[in-house]
Every structure is written in structure tokens, then in C-alpha cells.
Amino acid sequence: MAVIQATQAPLQRRHSKVSGPQSAWGTAAAYAVGVVIVVITIVPLLYVILGGFRTTAQINEHPAGMPSPWVWTNYKTVITSSSFWHFLLNSTVVAVIATGLTVVLGAMAAFALSRYVFKGRDGLYAFFTIGLMFPLTVAALPLYLQLRRLGLLENLWGVAIPEAAFSLSITIVILRPFMRAIPAELEDAAVVNGTSRLGFFWRVLLPLSAPALTTVGVLAFVTSWNFYILPLLVFNNQIHFTLPLGVATFQSQYSVDTARVFAFTSLSMLPTLIFFVIAQRRIVGGLTGAVKG
């Protein structure tokens, strides 16, 4: 036994010497890739935000320069504009409705697909999974015709409902494994105590699935906020425009004033950036739980 241990000791030391530098190089490479991704993501945002604090003449003279002096009138003009707040209100209403529908309907569908056994369950789940591969542009024309038939054109619900429908696939894909990982013993105990399956869903399953519900809620809200094609398809009157359409309209109206366009674009991005930064830890927690499930 002592001879075997003496033989294994040099091998272990040799393995640690080999794996140590490799691990360090792997960590350094991972950090380098992370830094590159952060730079690629952050630099354009900073360029737009800082561009709002300059004049168009300064941008044309030194495109990559810093504000000197800092010009606050661009942001002040946008903030005091009634159209900006109207676009913001429309985006908020649509995003809240779409997020609510996505979370409620997605949670109910994921509950049925994870806790019930019925014929065609896996096929139905695969159907929702396949929905991830179809972009909105594929269904633009039939969707427009259907909304016109239902009288939902020039209506905020005509945007919110399709947005929720297109977010259901990713919602169910995240929620189903998360709910499926919850032990069946909890459901058996709830049934023994006189709780119905629907009561188990509301009182036990949903509270335990809070991280995943938060994740899909944040994703649905951000996706709805950034939708451009669907509002463009439904709305023709500027009174119903959301912020993405408002940004496009503002860019067309003030195409010569680049600095003011930067300010309007920056303020349009700000709500989702703040919301995403606040909820990013919950997003990671929900996705981790879904992967483990």
C-alpha cells in the first residue's frame, strides 16, 4: 500500500504542474473574451449617450471626441417634449399587458406540460420549442389580416396580444423543466392535506417557481419594449406609437440634428437598461434552475 501511494504522489504532483498553467491560461482567455464582449456592447451605448451631450457641429468635427463643453439642451428638449412621454406611456402599457399575458399563460401551459401525463404531451412541447425558430416577419402578413378582421388595428391590445404569443415559446421552454424539477412528494403531500391540483399550482408551485417566473417576465418585458416590426404593422396614427416607432419618427423629423437624435435614443433605452440591470441576478438564477431541471 505504501509503495502504491509513493508511486501515485509524483504522478499527482506532475498532473498539478501541468493543469495549473493550463487552468490559468484558460481563465485568462475567458476574461479576455469577456472584456472584448463588454467593450463591443458598452462602447456603442456610451457613444450614443455622450453624443447627446454634444452639438451636431461637434460630432461632425470630432466624431469620437468627448463633450466639450457639455450641452444639456438636447436632453432637456426631449424630456420636456410631450410626444416622448406619450410614446413612453404607450410602450409601458403594451409591455405590461404583454408581460402579464406571457407569464400567466406560460405558467399555466408549463404546469400542464410538466405535471400532467397525457397523450401527445412531448409533441406539444416540441411544437412550442419549434416556435423559437420562426421570426415575426414570417407571420407578418397573415397576422396583419387577422388583426384587421378582429378590429385590433390602431389598438394597443393588437400589439400586446401577438407579442405575448411570440414570447410563449421561450417562456414555456424555461418554465417547464423548472416546474418539472420540483419533487412530486410536495404535490402528494398537498393532495393528502386536501389541496386540489389547482390549489397546488397557486399555493406551492408558483411560489417555488418565482425565480423562473421573474426571468421570463423580464425577458418578455424587454422583448416587448424593443419590438419594432409589430407596432409598425399595427399602428398608422402617431398617437398610438411606442418608443421604437417614436425613435424612428424622431430620427426622420430631426435627421439633420444628430445630437438631439442621440439624446432621444438614449432616453428611450434608459428604462429597459435600468430594469435589466436591476433584475439580472434573478434572470441568471431562473435560467440556472431551468438548466438543472
Q: Does one domain contain both 59 and 86?
A: no
Query: Is residue 236 pLDDT above 80, yes or no?
Result: yes
* Total-model pTM: 0.80
Q: What CATH code is carried by the domain that includes residue 209?
A: 1.10.3720.10
Residue 3 located in a structural domain: no
pLDDT band at 97 (very low <50, low <70, confident <90, very high): very high
Number of domains in the chain: 2
Task: Give the integer Cα–Cα distance in Å for 111 and 200.
Answer: 10
Q: Does one domain contain both 185 and 230?
A: yes
Q: Which of 19-28, 108-117, 156-165, 255-264 has the lowest mean pLDDT?
A: 19-28
- Look up the domain containing 48 and give its range: 24-71
Secondary structure (DSSP) of 131-182: GGG--GGGGHHHHHHHHHHHT-TT-THHHHHHHHHHHHHHHHHHHHHHHHTS
DSSP symbol at 202: I
Q: Does one domain contain both 109 and 169?
A: yes
Residue 180 located in a structural domain: yes
Give mean pLDDT, residues 19-39: 74
Residue 10 located in a structural domain: no
Query: Is residue 5 pLDDT above 50, yes or no?
Result: no
Q: Does one domain contain both 121 and 64?
A: no
Task: Give the integer Cα–Cα distance in Å for 186 and 85.
Answer: 47
Please say whether the beta carbons of 113 and 182 come within 8 A.
Answer: no
| pLDDT reported for residue 6 | 45
